[in-house]
Amino acid sequence: MSRPVAVILGAGIGGAGVARALTSSHDVVVVDRGSGKAVALAEAIGGESAVADLLDLDSVEALRDHILERYGRIDAVVHLVGGWQGSTSVDRDALAAWDAISPGVFGTLRVTSVAFREALMAAGGAYVMVSSTSTHHPTAGNVAYATAKAAAEAWMGGLAHSFRDTESRAVIFAVKAIVTEQMRAAEPDRGFPGYTDADALGIAVAGILLGDEPGNGARVDLTEE
């Protein structure tokens, strides 16, 4: 029987943590908008890399079809695409920040959830989004980011509803921010309060994909004390 297949959308520090956690149990495909990070991460874990325009449905569907042809299944899609841009208040800067980040944070989730949904249902798989605790605590300085993440979470709620009466799941993990051991070593006095370790995020995602609770529609706060 073939191994389950996980598609990691985003090759940043979060994507790296998830990819490392899944490499022993899944065939991993790392997708990014540029080949550099995707290739480096895929080579490090022994996976496959791909480049796609995640805002273009035709591009994502072509990627999906390539993965299905190569592996025969898609068991998980993990969304770690985004970026952050703040503002001084609810002002022109906030409008500019929304224009800059909403395509990556929200737009890519819309497109990829539509493109991969039927393949995930065929495998009884999961779509996982890494969101932000700021959706429940928006401020004038993060209003664009928090709103984009909140919109993405609302879309995830609809996706979860579409998975009802199936074995598939849509699950949200919320973090304040992600940190690595290298970041801690570079700034040993900073502390990074509330940050979630990239490897801890990976372990949490792996748990979901290997059958752990919570179920479809859950939102799990991974803020570290």
In order of start, what are the domains of the chain with their CATH numbers?
A: 5-221 (3.40.50.720)
Task: Please tell me whether the peptide bond between 214 and the residue prior to it is cis, using omega within 30 degrees of 0.
Answer: yes
Extract the tokens encoding 69: 């042809």
pLDDT confidence bin for 2, thresholds 50/70/90: confident
10-62 pLDDT, tens digit each: 999 999 999 999 999 999 999 998 878 999 999 999 999 999 999 999 999 99
pLDDT > 70: percent of the chain:
99
pTM score of the predicted model = 0.95
Instruction: Tell how many helices (H) and how many strands (E) occur in the chain.
Output: 8, 9
Length of the chain: 225
pLDDT at 130 over 70: yes
pLDDT at 83 (0 to 100): 84
pLDDT confidence bin for 63, thresholds 50/70/90: very high
pLDDT at 225 over 80: no
